[in-house]
Amino acid sequence: MVRFENVGMRYGTGPEVLRDITLRLDAGSFHFLTGPSGAGKTSLLRLIALAERPSRGLASLFGEDLSRITRADLAPLRREVGIVFQDFRLIPHLSAFDNVALPLRVAGVTEAKLRDNVREMLEWVGLADKLDAKPPTLSGGQQQRVAIARAVVARPKLLVADEPTGNVDDAMALRLMRLFEELNKLGTTLIVATHNAALARQFNRPVLHLEDGELQAAVAARAAS
């Protein structure tokens, strides 16, 4: 599903923030991405979520070579990727319903068709009674659940979550992780960045560890050679 080989990335003409990234996320897998602040976790997730383009190496998503894909072809590919941010990135003037409905509206789904889908998603995250609530009136945990509902409402093949538990308490963090597990059981491929190693350990999933823009496996291999 996701295949990177010796991928490097830089912002503009700046230094490389990711170096020699080689990884593979198979369909239906669930990976954690760990590493200290500034290690490049967000940059790697932005690459996977098609927010950035690699500056070198081979990167493919759903079998498409990202170095060859045109800008116009990115839009349908992006619809196959859901994304959850640490700071939720909800649109404050829209209700919870409208925030969740946004990916479907962007994809051109009619109002009649999206209504039940959106309600079902908000019900799934336990916010059936908050359809009309605006994000500023919701707690951090509630906002993140709306963000998760929004990320998965279009049934993406891949879900990318960048520190989704960073702004919620431990109990809510566990609840959110359970939601991710449910999604994974339904067939969604997940990669979740977290600096909370203890939380990652609880779920016994493969961990990709980033240090200074390089995956730990790559660092270890270089040290051994």
Q: Which residues of the chain form contacts with other proteins (CB under 8 A)?
A: 49-53, 71-72, 75-79, 81, 83, 89, 91-95, 97-98, 101-103, 105-107, 111, 115, 131-132, 154
Backbone angles phi, psi at 69, to 5 degrees: -75, 140
Shortest distance, position 19 Cβ to other proteins, whole Å: 19
| SS3 sequence of 195-217 | CCHHHHHHCCCCEEEEECCEEHH
Query: Nearer to other proteins by C-beta: 162 or 214?
Result: 162
Query: Nearer to other proteins by C-beta: 51 or 219?
Result: 51
Which of helix, strand or coil describes residue 125? coil
Give 163's DSSP letter: S
Shortest distance, position 97 Cβ to other proteins, whole Å: 6
Q: The tokens of 154 are what?
A: 């279009």
Shortest distance, position 167 Cβ to other proteins, whole Å: 16
How far apart are alpha carbons 53 and 47 in whole angstroms? 6
Query: Nearer to other proteins by C-beta: 12 or 63?
Result: 12
Query: How far is CA 186 from each of CA 48, 189, 199, rounded to the nearest angstrom?
Result: 21, 9, 22
Shortest distance, position 102 Cβ to other proteins, whole Å: 6
CB atoms within 10 A of CB 110: 9
Query: Nearer to other proteins by C-beta: 127 or 154?
Result: 154
Query: Nearer to other proteins by C-beta: 56 or 79?
Result: 79
Shortest distance, position 217 Cβ to other proteins, whole Å: 27
| 89, 96, 187, 85 alpha-carbon torsion, rounded to 10° | 10
